[in-house]
Chain A
Amino acid sequence: MRISLGKTRGKIVGAVVMVAAALLIGAVLMLLSGNNPLEAYRALVFGAFSSRQRVSELFVKLVPVMIMGLGVSVAYRAQLWNIGAGGQFLLGAIAATAVGLYVKLPPALLAPLTILAAAAAGGGWALLAGLLKVKFHANEVITTLMLNYIANYFLKFLVYGPMMDPAGQLPQSALLPEGIRLRQIFPGLRANYGLIIMVVALILTALLWRSAVGCRINLIGQGERVATYGGVNVRRVVLLTMFISGGAAGVAGWIETFGLQYRLMENMAGSYGDIATVVALLGALNPYGIAAASVFFAILLVGGAGMQRMTNVPYSIVDVIQGLIIIFVIAGVVGREGRPGKRPGKQSSKLSSKQPSKLSSKEPGRRERDA
């Protein structure tokens, strides 16, 4: 399948327009609060690029954002709305740290084992929501979000209780042994070799969409009936999709603990879970689009902190811009291809509304009759 250049260019222009519109409304909000938006945005760019440390921070943020964005995009292509990347990130971090601290093995064996543990735990946490959907038709948006809260409290429980650093009174785990940590690229700067894992994740995702499995995942996104007619075992692929999606977040959690903090701490996931959704949608679920959107968001995150230090504009404007971008993306997608008048069935985007896949063997064809 060849994508025409004109269409790709149109999508890129569309994404840029949406980002510009979100930044513009952000500027209006700053004006309303009595701040100078030009100054604020200048502080934002300055805050992101003005020193070696800050550029290194860009990569520190870019790695988890891109890996998690790629991860949720796999689920979103199948119309599985996994919004629990934050919780899956935490489970990955917890499992990897537990293995790293308590399993006694030579570093050469232990290090790969911690990555596997992170991927399995993150994937398993998402798989749980997948199982609940397949078995009980429980809405995955709500279950993945609830699992986020549960993961957060579980992490709190661990760092205040059984995994608390015996050497101190702070809510954090003991430090991981140095032999299994992920190294910094330049000594003294926090950017680390998680960057390579990120590039691998990008390549793997791009390859996934050229593989048979990727094709099946896409088919599920077309609706359960389409997938069944296409000979796809819907349940199995749904579970696999959720596992891949969560596994990516788990690996991001591994990078955060083994490459950055070297221990478990409270609220490690921050707002990465939400941002993963935003970059996946802004990147139109395309791996390269997600990569570009992630770069933009890394700048926004690092620069936003600088902006808050240098001006009176609160950091929460960054969250506002995120939300605006989602709203514009969905309004824009529909504006381009799903407006009333277009026949259904020609929708090429996963983001436009279509009949929900119910993943149910009960009452097939019911929706057909009603629709």
Chain B
Amino acid sequence: MLENIFTANFLISLLASTVRLATPIMTPALGQIYTQRAGILNLGVEGTMIMGAVTGFAAASFTGSLWLGLLGGMLTGMFWSLIMAWLAITMRANQVIAGLGMNILGAGLAAYIYRVIFGVRSLPPRITPFQGLSLPGLSDIPVLGPILFQHNALVYLSFLLVPLTWFILERTTLGLKIKAVGEHPRAADAKGVNVLGIRYAAVLIGGLYAGAAGAFMTIAYLNSFTEAVISGRGYIAVAVVIFARFLPARAMWGALLFGFASALQMRLQALGVDIANQLLLMLPYIMTIIALIIASNKAEFPGAYTIPYSRMER
């Protein structure tokens, strides 16, 4: 058994899966960094992702274009988070319940939309998902090539979001404003920053990322839609953000850790290891709890985290 695990092939496929499985956790986590830095806890990521997954899949199968599928997922993600933003920012509702409601509604609506569009079939509808790109030169490097450079385009785009997110947050005025409304909205308001507007923007960017990640699941990871397609990844992404202390690079490493846990479970199962696969399937969820245990005490939450802002209250 052990000799099967410590082979080059096993390790290479394990690490390649790690990168691929980290993507749908890293992307929404990066988006949530904007949202949470602006002081909004959007627990509705799970629902946003499943809405992105179903519309991405529907758009791709009707237009035949995977890129239009991705666009559909992104726009749906933005629309879905717009409702969340309205509840949390304008209506100043409790963000935890608002997020929960958006998740329950999203799960129901996604299943409904799927049933209405595709009906009940004996064979679920499938599409041809994004294929791995072979990058001349890079893909042929032994070991590193298969691990890092044989993925599909969306994986690379997602990893490009890491420096982009860092750049926007740390080097642009938009980033500065996002952090200001999250830390001290009253001071930001006094400085002439449109607190509500910036918070809306931060939630919408988060929705865009989450919608893209949802679409990734149906058009670049799987080739079909099921109701269990997201299965907690949205919540895990929120945990990763806290684990990463709201920093994009750390979020990437956190997501890779979760990607590794999922990949390990799949690869061990494929090898037929003598551990019941139900126990292996628990791995990412147990890790999420451990990550929260390690990180929550140390995390420096933004000053106005989950507190709605109004000029009329002090």
Contacts and interface: CB of A to CB of B under 8 A. Distances in A.
B293 interface: yes
27 contacts: A33-B116, A132-B293, A138-B289, A139-B296, A141-B100, A142-B235, A142-B238, A145-B235, A146-B235, A147-B285, A157-B278, A160-B278, A277-B104, A314-B115, A316-B108, A319-B112, A322-B104, A323-B104, A323-B105, A330-B91, A330-B97, A334-B91, A339-B92, A353-B95, A356-B306, A370-B184, A371-B307
Contacts of A33: 112, 116
A145 to B, nearest CB: 5
Contact of A141 (B43, B111, B282, B314): B43
Sorted nearest first, the 10 A-B pairs with minimum C-beta distance are A323-B105, A319-B108, A326-B101, A157-B278, A316-B111, A138-B292, A320-B108, A314-B115, A323-B104, A33-B116
B96 interface: yes
A47 interface: no
B145 interface: no
A331 interface: yes
Contact of A146 (B103, B278, B289): B289
Given A142-B239, A322-B105, A356-B306, 12 more contacts: A146-B286, A147-B289, A277-B100, A316-B111, A317-B112, A319-B108, A323-B107, A327-B83, A338-B92, A351-B93, A355-B307, A356-B305
A39 to B, nearest CB: 16
Given A146-B235, A340-B312, A326 B100 contact: yes
A320 B109 contact: yes
Which secondary structure dominates where chain B touches chain A? helix
Interface in B76-127: 83, 87, 91-109, 111-112, 115-116
B63 interface: no
B12 to A, nearest CB: 28
Interface of A: 29, 32-33, 81, 83, 132, 136-139, 141-143, 145-147, 149-150, 153-154, 156-157, 160-161, 274, 277-278, 281, 314, 316-324, 326-327, 329-331, 333-335, 338-341, 343-344, 351-356, 367, 370-371
B281 A153 contact: yes
A137 B242 CA distance: 11
Contacts of A331: 87, 91, 93
Contacts of B112: 29, 33, 314, 316-317, 319-320
Interface in B26-54: 43
A317 B108 contact: yes
A319 B296 CA distance: 32
B74 interface: no
Contacts of A81: 96-97, 100
